Amino acid sequence: MSYFEVKNLVKRFGGLVAVNNISFSVEKGEIFGLIGPNGSGKTTIFNCINRYYSPTGGKIYFKGKRIDKLPTYEICRLGIGRTFQVVKPLRRMTALENVMSGAFLKTSDVAKARDRALEVLDFCGLFRYRHFPAKGLTIADKKRLEIARALATEPELLLLDEVAAGLNPRETEAAMEIIQKIRSSGVTILIVEHVMKVIMGISDRIMAINFGKEIARGTPQEIVNNEEVIKAYLGESYAQGK
Amino acid sequence: MLKKFWFLSIIIVIAIILPLIVQSSYYRHIFILILIWGALGVAWNLLGGYTGQVSFGHAAFFGVGAYGAGLLAFHLHISPWWGMIVGPVAAVIVSIPIGLICFRLRGPYFALAMLAVGEICRLVFTQWVSLTNGAMGILTLTTFSSKLPYYYIGLAILSFSVYTVYRLMNSRAGYYFVSIREDQDAAESLGIPTTKYKMYSLIPSAFFSGLAGAFYMNYMNYIEPSVVFSLPDVSIMIILVVILGGVATLWGPVVGAIIFVVLSELLRSSLGPAHLLVFGVIVCLVIMYMPNGIMGEVDRIKKLLQRKGARIGSEIT
């Protein structure tokens, strides 16, 4: 049994099949990337994993335990953290309080939660903004805050949903650095990303999907050369003409 | 920190010696009303302000608390002071099913359900004459001839509720309450069981509302459904009091209660029922110019005063 496994996942919204029979597994310690054009179902897969949505069909296992029927908070308690593509900062709380809210998962002691939160803020390069209200942060820092908050719950598996989208090149570099640092601290990462530089640069394996279906899977090298992937991103004529 | 400690000590000392200086029983009556409204506001604020679960029917808890005390005396002929235990417990019992049903949903369901519960309580307590004596209300005997004991009991209740909220808000639960208010999805994804923590906020809120109600019964010695379950005069008024004083601030509800009670006493004789109009206008002005309420904007007010002071100072030199 794999460390984390999605089996025949299906999510339907009325007549629309957003995720159509997706299966994959992630091994401990790896960075697994998920790519696909807009609306291909990447975020829906994430939302099914942490049960923000209930899957229509299929099974999800984490460390051998079936989790697709558990409530969202229980999934976090098992060790799966996530960030949101459309950032959800706790707006009127400071950056520190945001991260503390995550840190309270492992301790009920306020001082301990604060220490842990400060550590994580430092790790993510947000230490100097710790007393800023979250709503006042830039988008890049809000994305970091998403990561910091999820990290504070001390996850074993971290779901990163487009943490580099909308960032400038320097901020993107910094985000990649943080992701690498998280991985070397022993956290397994499942990442959805549009910014190719990020996902190709850090993923061990990538799965490409389109219209909710898997179209390719392999190393970053294999993926960039895959005809189906090129077709999905750039259109049929480009794929044939090359 | 030290400054805060001194400030708090001074307030406590003033609160303790105030009724000893002010001998008039009318003024003491006003102080007691402030204490009751303060406790009620603090209770509402825990749920509505910090946790973001706005209730339009806190009169249900207040009234059930009051009747919990009143019915003991009416049917069992025991002291209504026992109601100080029975009343709040009854309010909590009423609150639990409402919370369990509504807190799973998002949106305005809880607010509206509470509105309904408040009105249902009012109607049931009016119609069920054999149990509640209906619209005739319940009359009990006065325990103390002086207002002084009532004042100190009220002060104890208010202090107890403020202290409880303070302790809660400085613990994990407090951080969770605010997280739920700010973004329920984010809170869930951080491992916070949101339904459970909304209940943890509702239960003390109902308890202190019920306690305030039970004390109201003991103090006024007369209650009727249209007074204690009133939608405009209790349920809505609590919300206005808290908005005025400062939503999600520790002392805001108390400040709001002081302004509300003093104002309605000052204006009642001259304006009659229209005194509420003045209060309404003040609430509107506060919402427009101090959206966080008086205690929520306390830093801004301080800054403004300081700037003014500095300007005056510079003009002199």
Residue B139 included in any domain: yes
Look-up: residue for tokens 């249902």? B120
Measured in residues, chain B has a length of 317
Beta bridge partners of B27: none
B186–chain A Cβ distance below 8 A for any pair: yes
> Rounded to whole angstroms, what are the CA distances from B243 to A94, A104, B49, B158, B168?
22, 30, 9, 18, 21
Residue B253 included in any domain: no
Residue B34 included in any domain: yes
Q: What is the DSSP letter of A94?
A: B
Residue B259 included in any domain: no
**Which residues on A lie below 8 Å from B189 (Cβ)?**
50, 52, 72-73, 76, 81-82, 84, 88, 150
Average pLDDT, whole number, for chain A?
92
A239–chain B Cβ distance below 8 A for any pair: no
β A57-62/A4-13 pair status = antiparallel
Q: Are B197 and B52 in contact (CB under 8 A)?
A: no
Q: Give the Cα separation of A61 and A66 in Å (integer).
A: 4
Q: Three-class SS string for A6-45?
A: EEEEEEEECCEEEEEEEEEEECCCCEEEEECCCCCCHHHH
Residue B278 has a pLDDT of 86
Q: Give the Cα separation of A234 and A221 in Å (integer).
A: 17
**B188:A71 CB<8 A:** yes
Sheet with A188-192: list strands edge to edge: A80-82, A157-161, A188-192, A31-35, A205-210, A213-218
Q: Give the Cα separation of A101 and A114 in Å (integer).
A: 9
A101–chain B Cβ distance below 8 A for any pair: yes
Q: Is B227 helix (H, G, I), strand (E, B) or coil?
A: helix
Q: Which domain, by its residues, includes B224?
A: 27-230
Residue B107 included in any domain: yes
Look-up: residue for tokens 């999800």? A60
Which fold would CATH assign to domain A4-87+158-241? Rossmann fold (3.40.50)
The interface residues of chain B toward chain A in range 135-164, judged by CB-CB distance below 8 A, are: none
Report pLDDT digits (tens) over A6-18.
Answer: 999 999 999 999 9
Residue B96 has a pLDDT of 96
Cα dihedral sign, A102-A107-A111-A112: negative
Q: Are B60 and B229 in contact (CB under 8 A)?
A: yes
| Weakest-pLDDT range from A210-214, A235-239, B239-243 | A235-239
Residue A239 has a pLDDT of 66
Q: Specify the amino acid at residue A67.
A: I
CB atoms within 10 A of CB A225: 11
**What does the block give as tokens for B221?**
């010695």
Residue B269 has a pLDDT of 82
Question: One digit per residue, pLDDT tens: chain B, 317 residues?
Answer: 678 888 899 999 999 999 999 889 999 999 999 999 999 999 999 999 999 999 999 999 999 999 999 999 999 988 889 999 999 999 999 999 999 999 988 878 899 999 999 999 999 999 999 999 999 999 988 888 899 999 999 999 999 999 999 999 999 999 999 999 999 999 999 999 999 999 999 999 999 999 999 999 999 999 999 999 999 899 999 999 999 999 999 999 999 999 999 998 888 888 887 888 888 898 899 989 888 899 988 888 888 887 765 555 444 43
Q: Are B125 and B138 in contact (CB under 8 A)?
A: no
Mean per-residue pLDDT for A178-188?
Answer: 94
Cβ-based neighbours of B262, under 8 Å, separated by 6 or more: B30, B34
Look-up: residue for tokens 């996530």? A82
So what's the ipTM on this one? 0.92
Residue B185 included in any domain: yes
Q: Give the Cα separation of A119 and A100 in Å (integer).
A: 11
Provide, rounded to the nearest whole percent, the portion of chain A with pLDDT above 90.
79
A46–chain B Cβ distance below 8 A for any pair: no
Residue B143 included in any domain: yes
**A84:B186 CB<8 A:** yes
**What does the block give as tokens for B280?**
């309404």
Residue B135 included in any domain: yes
Residue B145 has a pLDDT of 87
**A50:B189 CB<8 A:** yes
Residue B302 has a pLDDT of 81
Sheet with A57-62: list strands edge to edge: A16-26, A4-13, A57-62, A65-66
A33–chain B Cβ distance below 8 A for any pair: no
Residue B313 has a pLDDT of 47
**A97:B175 CB<8 A:** yes
Q: Between these two residues, B204 and A36, which has the higher pLDDT value? A: B204
Number of domains comprising chain B? 1
Q: Is A192 helix (H, G, I), strand (E, B) or coil?
A: strand
**Which residues on B lie below 8 Å from A152 (Cβ)?**
190
Q: Are B102 and B110 in contact (CB under 8 A)?
A: yes
Q: Are A172 and A198 in contact (CB under 8 A)?
A: yes
